[in-house]
């Protein structure tokens, strides 16, 4: 029989995660899987569970939680020659990866997708020695978003990030960055650098509207040091899906990137606090197979 592992964060989905995990297990059993359910209790548990699934050659790994749980799960596949098919039950605040793949954000509907036989290749990014599945950001604005408390995310959802970002922008938020990519270079003061794999970042589905999950490119934006008016102009461009044409933004696509700074800058990786600069980013094209709805 086929083997499936469900990795569930019991604190996700307004603490209804265990209910959804049980329903997902029942769905998988009906379509012929033997199912193992593992609950995370501490940091990196999802990574270790996924490592076990790779070593034991499970057919399917289901990440039931938010983008943070998904990020940890994916990192269980680092340097593994065998990678199970990935399925996602989105229970978090934003769920960017699910949005990009048109996986239903409603957990009940996402569980129904577990009956699908359709998969899609997805690019993955590697930053230093870890993987990321959606986005890496650097700069003072990115640092502030990493610090949004879990209870704020639960109460305010996406607007928790907006609130924290606004607080940062009233301060002097620029940092001096040097970005080297595919033998090109940008250097200057910036409030934010973003390298995205998908068109959905922080719930904005218009950041890189042309981005596809399997296009073999990192879609990158450097927001230059701006005053209040210029920041508002950048925000308008973002909402219009026209950020790459803003004169306050340096936009490019790449497959390899090095970001560094003379300042101490911490990154935000898939919505969580990450490593400090300098960083080296590499694209891993079509690295994993993801279970998607039959109609896509």
* Band (240; pLDDT cuts 50, 70, 90): very low
Beta bridge partners of 187: 178
The sign one gets for the Cα dihedral 162, 166, 168, 173 is: positive
Please state the rounded mean pLDDT for residues 45-59. 98
* Residues above pLDDT 90, as percent of the chain: 59
pLDDT for 231:
55
pLDDT for 248:
75
Place of tokens 């569970």: 49
Q: Would the pLDDT of 146 be above 70? A: no
Q: Considering only CA atoms, which of 82, 86, 88, 92 is closest in space to residue 61?
A: 86
Q: Would the pLDDT of 38 be above 60? A: yes
Q: Report the C-alpha gap between 158 and 236 in whole angstroms.
A: 18
Beta bridge partners of 184: 181
Give yes or no: 272 in active site.
Answer: yes
Which structure tokens are listed for 138?
A: 């650097």
For the segment 184-205, what is each residue's pLDDT rounded down to a tens digit? 999 999 888 989 998 877 666 6
Residues with Cβ within 8 Å of 270's Cβ and at least 6 positions away in sequence, in order, are 67, 68, 70, 71, 132, 133, 134, 135, 136
Element of type H or E holding 136 = strand 135-138
Q: Report the C-alpha gap between 39 and 54 in whole angstroms.
A: 17
pLDDT for 157:
47
Beta bridge partners of 62: 6, 87
Q: Report the C-alpha gap between 8 and 130 in whole angstroms.
A: 21
Mean pLDDT of the chain: 85
pLDDT for 224:
82
Report how far apart, in Å, the C-alpha atoms of 44 and of each of 41, 104, 132, 202, 228 are.
9, 26, 14, 22, 39
pLDDT for 169:
52
pLDDT for 239:
47
* Residues above pLDDT 70, as percent of the chain: 79
Alpha carbon distance, N-terminus to C-terminus of the chain: 27
* Band (229; pLDDT cuts 50, 70, 90): very low
Q: Would the pLDDT of 151 be above 80? A: no
Rounding to the nearest 10 degrees, give the CA dihedral for residues 126, 129, 134, 139: -110
Catalytic residue from among 152, 205, 260, 272: 272
Most confident of the following: 30-39, 65-74, 132-141, 216-225 = 30-39
Q: How many CB atoms lie within 10 A of CB 151?
A: 9
Burial 43-60 (b: 16+ CB within 10 A, else e): eebbbbbbbbbbeeebeb
Angle value at C-alpha 271, between 218 and 101, nearest 5 degrees: 55
With 0-12 / 13-18 / 19 or more C-beta atoms within 10 angstroms meaning exposed / middle / buried, residue 155 is exposed
Cβ atoms of residues 65 and 8 within 8 Å: yes
Q: ω before 278 within 30° of 0 (cis)?
A: yes
């Amino acid at each position: 029989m086929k083997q499936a592992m469900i990795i569930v964060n019991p604190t996700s989905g307004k603490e209804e995660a265990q209910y959804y995990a049980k329903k997902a297990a029942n769905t998988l059993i009906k379509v012929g899987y033997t199912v193992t359910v593992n609950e995370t209790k501490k940091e990196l548990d999802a990574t270790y569970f996924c490592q076990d699934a790779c070593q034991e050659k499970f057919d399917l790994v289901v990440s039931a939680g938010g983008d943070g749980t998904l990020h940890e799960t994916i990192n269980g596949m680092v340097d593994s020659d065998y990678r199970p098919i990935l399925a996602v039950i989105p229970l978090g605040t934003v769920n960017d990866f699910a949005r990009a793949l048109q996986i239903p954000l409603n957990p009940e509907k996402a569980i129904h997708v577990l009956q699908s036989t359709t998969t899609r290749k997805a690019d993955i990014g590697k930053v230093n020695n870890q993987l990321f599945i959606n986005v890496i950001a650097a700069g003072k604005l990115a640092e502030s978003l990493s610090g949004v408390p879990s209870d704020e995310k639960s109460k305010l959802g996406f607007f928790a990030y907006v609130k924290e970002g606004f607080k940062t922008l009233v301060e002097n938020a620029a940092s001096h960055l040097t970005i080297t990519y595919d033998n090109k270079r940008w250097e200057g003061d910036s409030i934010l650098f973003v390298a995205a794999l998908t068109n959905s970042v922080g719930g904005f589905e218009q950041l890189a509207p042309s981005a596809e999950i399997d296009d073999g490119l990192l879609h990158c934006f450097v927001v230059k040091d701006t005053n209040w008016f210029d920041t508002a102009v950048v925000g308008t461009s973002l909402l219009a899906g026209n950020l790459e044409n803003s004169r306050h933004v340096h936009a490019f696509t790449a497959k390899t990137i090095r970001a560094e700074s003379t300042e101490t800058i911490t990154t935000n990786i898939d919505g969580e606090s990450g490593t400090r600069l300098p960083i080296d980013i590499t694209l891993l094209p079509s690295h994993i197979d993801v279970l998607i709805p039959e109609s896509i």
